[in-house]
Homo-oligomer: A and B are copies of this chain.
């Protein structure tokens, strides 16, 4: 199995509900350094999984609506805990769609898995990984 992984980041505000979250129930924020890995069983005729430049562009386009936002105020996140885990799946879903609609360029159609990792600090990160169906 081959993989290519690219990195970008967002800076957001948010808060959580419920005793589990302790002090994180207050409005706070995070820098998420985000790594997205695209997996492919075989390389394309150009010997790539996807073009790294296009992968960076697709990731940036996916993150733009979230960057510099208070997630608590976004329509799509009402009633949702925007945990690091949740956001890794949310970004996964967006990039899975990008792969299918050609936003990743040649090779995107053959991507078999995606993993999205969000590093929230030097001591904690979360990820979601799944096959594309």
Contacts and interface: CB of A to CB of B under 8 A. Distances in A.
Q: Provide the main secondary structure of the chain A interface.
A: mixed
Contacts of A51: 20-21
A14 to B, nearest CB: 7
Contacts of A127: 2-3, 5
* Interface size band for A: 35 or more
B46 A7 contact: no
Interface string A36-64: 00000001001111011100100000000
A53 B9 CA distance: 13
Interface of A: 1-9, 11-14, 16, 18, 20-24, 26-33, 43, 46-49, 51-53, 56, 67-70, 73, 80-86, 88-89, 105-106, 120-130
